Copies of this chain bind each other. A is one copy, B any other.
Amino acid sequence: MTQEQEAIAANAAFYAAISASNNNAMALIWADDDAVSCIHPGWSALVGRAAVLGSWANIFAGPSPPEIQCLKPQAIITGAEARILCVEIVGPAVLAATNQFRLIDRRWRLVHHHAGEIAIAAANPARAERSRSVH
């Protein structure tokens, strides 16, 4: 596989771990240091491995663990950094996601995840229009 294919595969493994509510897989997917961070939709940023993995463990333990589909992943690779941009389908919501991976010991490890809703348009055109106009 090319580096790009490997990065896309690492991204797919991230979503597979979410769908399986698999904490052990998440622990291997995220980089093993405290320079990791995560912005869940609607949340403030979490920084550090304990905070990030803990948030996923809480989500997995919740009443409705997420079913997330990742669509249209595209990789932007510069040296040992891979930024995967994709669209997430979470129930009725459509989100845009940034997944930043770093090549550590020849494996792409996740160092940052940021997901936020984008498809407010279908449900509420006025609100989506406001979002577009202000930023």
Contacts and interface: CB of A to CB of B under 8 A. Distances in A.
A135 B59 contact: yes
A39 B135 CA distance: 10
Nearest to A39: B96
Interface string A34-72: 010101111111010000000000010011101010000
- Please classify how large the interface on chain A is, using the bins under 10, 10 to 19, 20 to 34, 35 or more: 35 or more
A120 B124 CA distance: 14
Interface string A95-110: 1101010100000000
Interface stretch (A4-12, A20-28, A77-85): A77-85
24 contacts: A35-B76, A35-B77, A39-B116, A39-B118, A41-B131, A41-B132, A41-B135, A42-B117, A42-B132, A43-B96, A43-B118, A43-B132, A44-B87, A44-B96, A44-B118, A47-B76, A47-B85, A64-B134, A66-B134, A68-B135, A83-B111, A83-B112, A115-B116, A117-B117
